[in-house]
Chain A
């Protein structure tokens, strides 16, 4: 039976900020462009971003400039960042923010009527362009409208399960329409993975349902390299109660506006961990502090810390934190102007991802590009708040142009039939494999995977826990071929979708756990109880992962990509930190 097929110069997977920006750029460069996403347009994970977009415009603090933003990003990333990415981001984010405004985005203003900027952890100056606490929505809506009026064909609710290669080159992909289950193939001269992160490998996460690491897994299977996968950002403040909303984000702006953290004994415990910066210490430090308080028996009734803004004027709280006020009132029955919230760490962001060329987003696989949270390098060991939204625009645009340029060098491409057949067989298998006793339910296996990751690969790690987790993940790997959707319908079948997603999440979990075991030090988002200090060796190396053969995941320590002309800036920052 013939299946639906489309041909493009550039095909972008993902309609978050980075995917939309890439598609706009590719179309602008004259490429015939398609965009595919699992969800509906305008509903990607990016829509949840709250705080803002970091760009050294200097509207509020005229002293700010790209060099300081670059230094802040490097310091935040504990110097493991790809220097060129941090440089390009700092230099280009201001233009990308202005461009959004020229496309119709509306941001909060300064008294002299320019884009306003707010303070955030780790940024030397007030730097985050924002609108209230819904900056991601503004960004998505603006890019969505720009995309719709650019020459881009959009395929919504379409799930891609395999990249298709012809020899060394990625030439397209295979998937199905969620509403009907009908199969679909795309051929493309260049393909951009803008598929976001993989927060769903943890049970407690701020991430949306989309975030199952599909891009990481597809790229890895197609031969791309992954970098920094051990660095997962746990945001210090997620909701802990009621159970159904555990993990839901409580924005950093709550602490920015003066929120105070206390343990069950009423102690303001950040005094112990970072007396200088207190509640506004970096995310990794605050997350570890809360975790430690709970672990040592000083947690709140629901196993978190108290976060209190009730000492602030109640109208001020409602004006500055409207969605937090609503969220707690509606979902937890807590009026935050009168009583404290209970919060605890939640999996939030993947610093690691597909290894790309900073300037073009190219991976090492011809025809394959990546951008956004799906790609790695920009943030090193820890991301500063606000640096993701800037990243999406700067590198989304670069990947779109990069892909369009690469596509222009290629004649026509076609999809080898045996690759299509293999992809078809895989999705069919999830539906139709015979029911033995060993059929695995994807919902249950997903829970199991989340338990393993929470137990052994959480905020604090050690050799024993990691080794156990890896063993357990490897045993899951033996069972993953037995995944079977509990229903065999084709149309809108969530269990079927989850089968492939669980496979992807398992790949990602193994990368995270193995890299975490290899990195014998503590740095940024990675804390080892058995190696608590920085190591000089690891401070100069990223862990790069690639697939040598089917079950051979190879990890290689690789020197950090530095740049001669930036050495002075980096050294100056290191000196300043030492002096402080």
Chain B
């Protein structure tokens, strides 16, 4: 082994305990094992010291996006963060995500994200698919380069940490005006699908609120899947909104829907938190 894993030793953790009404950081100490991740430590504390400690997890393999928390102040997956990668001389703080209502301890109510997702018109194939060009005997014909482009966005495990860190949601609490980076990117992935037939431009600009994003890139920084949310999804869509909605000539002519796409039915506004 190239790297000797720090064997054992005691570590201090400060875990946020409480609910919407009150709460505080509580100190815990535990004997660690080599290679332990924060989730291991939290579950060990739950088993041996704090049986009512609420924590959400499922895969413990960085694949399901359940175990998001703020570790030493930064959103991270608990199951992917090793204790020995965090400074050894200070306690490790573990807190719930702040952009969403707290349920208890480390668990937050992320249902708002699901309500936003419901607002997004799903993939709908274009009506004029051409046999031999777009589709062959029922198989879609898509180029690998197009797959690669969209595929980056589809790596998303819905940990919602980008939503947590985005100041529009976290600090300004504008959950009823902005879908957040996760869902901007989701729309981008639908939009870039070569065979999709829906024009989501108005949705991006209006209910989606893309104009609120001021490209701070905090979302990109925390993404555990290293998705270039801002550069590859949000900025190209902002450009399209500017080009197509504010182009005076297109405005006079009445905007031609992109790629012969149809507009989705009107939606309700962005969901409230």
Q: Which residues of A contact B (CB under 8 A)?
A: 39-45, 47-48, 57, 59, 98, 101-104, 106-109, 112-115, 131-132, 134, 137-138, 141, 145-146, 148-149, 156, 179, 208-210, 241-245, 248-249, 301, 327, 330-335, 338-339, 443, 485-487, 489, 491-495
- CB-CB under 8 A from A301, the residues of chain B are 1
Please state if A242 and B36 are interface contacts (CB–CB under 8 Å): yes
Q: Which of B9-17, B150-158, B245-253 contacts A (4 or more CB under 8 A)?
A: B150-158
Contacting residues, chain B, for A331 (C-beta < 8 A): 35, 37, 80, 82
List the count of A-B residue pairs having beta carbons below 8 Å apart.
Answer: 174
Residues A104 and B107 in contact, CB atoms below 8 Å apart: no
Q: Are A149 and B136 in contact (CB under 8 A)?
A: no
Contact status B123-A338, CB under 8 Å = no
Minimum distance in angstroms from B249 CB to a CB of chain A: 33
Contact status A43-B33, CB under 8 Å:
no
| Cα of A106 to Cα of B58 in the assembled complex, Å | 25
Q: A39-B58, A47-B63, A47-B64 are in contact. Are A131 and B33 (CB under 8 A)?
A: no
A42's contact among B52, B55, B158, by CB below 8 Å, is which?
B158
**Cβ contact within 8 Å between A493 and B147:** no
For the complex, what is the distance from the CA of A101 to the CA of B138, rounded to whole Å? Answer: 10
Partner of B122, one of A44, A146, A338: A146
Contacts of A495 in B (CB 8 A): 51-52
Mark B residues whose CB is within 8 Å of A: 1-3, 5, 33-37, 40, 46-47, 51-66, 80, 82, 103-105, 107, 109-111, 114, 117-118, 122-123, 125, 136, 138-144, 147, 150-151, 154-158, 190, 193, 196
How many Å lie between the Cα of A92 and that of B152 in the bound state? 30
Identify which of A113, A156, A208 contacts B64 (C-beta below 8 A). Answer: A208
Q: Is the CB of A109 within 8 A of B51?
A: no
Q: A334 to B1, Cβ gap below 8 A?
A: yes
The answer to whether B60 and A209 have CB atoms under 8 Å apart is yes
CA distance A174 to B64 in the complex (A): 26
Report chain A residues within 8 Å CB of B35: 241-245, 331-333
Contact between chains at A179 and B82 (CB < 8 Å): no
Query: CB-nearest residue of chain A relative to B111?
Result: A156
A106 touches B122 (CB 8 A): no
Partner of A338, one of B2, B54, B110, B151: B2
Flag if A109 contacts B144 (CB, 8 Å). Answer: yes
Expressed in whole angstroms, the minimum distance between the Cβ of A294 and any Cβ of chain B is 18
Is A179 in contact with B33, judged by CB distance below 8 angstroms? no
**Please, how many angstroms separate the alpha-carbon atoms of A397 and B55 in the complex?**
34
Listed from nearest, the 8 A-B pairs whose CB atoms lie closest are A242-B35, A104-B123, A333-B3, A486-B51, A487-B52, A492-B54, A43-B64, A244-B40
Distance between Cα atoms of A138 and B150 in the complex (Å)? 12
A108, B144: Cβ atoms closer than 8 Å: yes
Q: Distance in Å from the Cβ of A173 to the closest Cβ of chain B?
A: 21
Q: Are A243 and B52 in contact (CB under 8 A)?
A: no
Which of A57, A98, A242, A489 is close to B33, meaning CB atoms less than 8 Å apart? A242
Check A43/B66 contact, CB under 8 A, given A48-B61, A491-B104: yes
Q: Which residues of B have CB within 8 Å of A132?
A: 151
**Residues of chain B lying within 8 A (CB to CB) of residue A113:** 141-144
Cβ 8 A contact of B65, one of A43, A57, A242? A43
Write out the residue numbers on chain B whose beta carbons fall within 8 Å of the beta carbon of A39: 58, 64, 66
| Known contacts A40-B66, A47-B64, A104-B190; A208/B34 CB under 8 A | no
Bound-state Cα–Cα, A346 to B109, Å: 34
B59 to A145, Cβ gap below 8 A?
A: no
- Tell me if A106 and B139 are in contact (CB < 8 A): no
B65: chain A residues within 8 A (beta carbon): 42-43
**B-side contacts of A138, CB under 8 Å:** 154
**Across the interface, do B64 and A48 meet the contact criterion of CB distance under 8 Å?**
yes
Q: Are A491 and B54 in contact (CB under 8 A)?
A: yes
**B155 — which chain A residues lie within 8 A by C-beta?**
134, 137
B58: chain A residues at CB < 8 Å are 39, 43-45, 208-210
Contact A103 B123 (CB under 8 A): yes
CB proximity of B77 to chain A, nearest CB, Å = 10
Complex-state Cα separation, A376 to B157, whole angstroms: 29
Compute how far the CA of A327 lies from the CA of B109 in the bound complex, rounded to whole angstroms: 28
A495 CB, nearest partner CB in chain B, Å? 5
Q: Write out the residue numbers on chain B whose beta carbons fall within 8 Å of the beta carbon of A210.
A: 58
- Across the interface, name the chain A residue whose C-beta is closest to B64: A43
A365 to B17, CA, bound (A): 45
Given B51, B82, B122, B193, which contacts A145 in the complex, CB threshold below 8 Å?
B122
In the assembled complex, which residues on chain A have CB atoms less than 8 Å from the CB atom of B46? 494
Name A491's contact: one of B51, B103, B110, B118 (CB within 8 Å): B103
Distance (whole angstroms) from the CB of B203 to the closest CB of chain A:
15
Whether B118 lies near A148 (C-beta < 8 A) is: yes
A528 and B46 CA atoms in complex are apart in Å by 39
- B156, chain A: closest CB distance, angstroms: 8
Contact of A208 among B37, B52, B59, B150 (CB under 8 A): B59
- A492 touching B142, Cβ below 8 Å: no
Residues of A within 8 Å of B143, CB to CB, are: 109, 113
**How many angstroms between the C-alpha atoms of A250 and B122 in the bound complex?**
33
Contact call A106/B36, Cβ cutoff below 8 A: no
Bound-state CA distance A487–B143 (Å) is: 55
Can you list 8 A-B contacts with CB-CB less than 8 angstroms, sorted by A residue number?
Answer: A41-B114, A44-B64, A47-B63, A102-B140, A104-B123, A106-B193, A132-B151, A244-B40
Quick one: closest A residue to B140, CB to CB? A101
Closest-by-CB residue of B relative to A42 is B158
Would B1 and A48 count as touching, CB distance under 8 A? no
Question: Which of A98, A108, A492 is in CB contact (< 8 Å) with B139?
Answer: A98
Contact of B52 with A493 in the complex, beta carbons under 8 Å: yes
Name the distance in Å between B65's Cβ and chain A's nearest Cβ.
7
A109-B34 contact in complex given A40-B110, A138-B154, A179-B107, C-beta closer than 8 Å: no
For the complex, give the distance between the alpha carbons of A327 and B62 in Å.
Answer: 9
The smallest beta-carbon distance between B220 and chain A, in angstroms, is 17
Report Cα–Cα, A443/B47, bound state, in Å: 7
Given A45-B58, A330-B62, 19 further pairs, Cβ under 8 A:
A39-B64, A43-B66, A104-B193, A106-B150, A108-B144, A113-B144, A134-B63, A134-B155, A138-B154, A148-B114, A179-B103, A243-B34, A245-B60, A333-B1, A334-B1, A338-B2, A492-B103, A494-B51, A494-B54
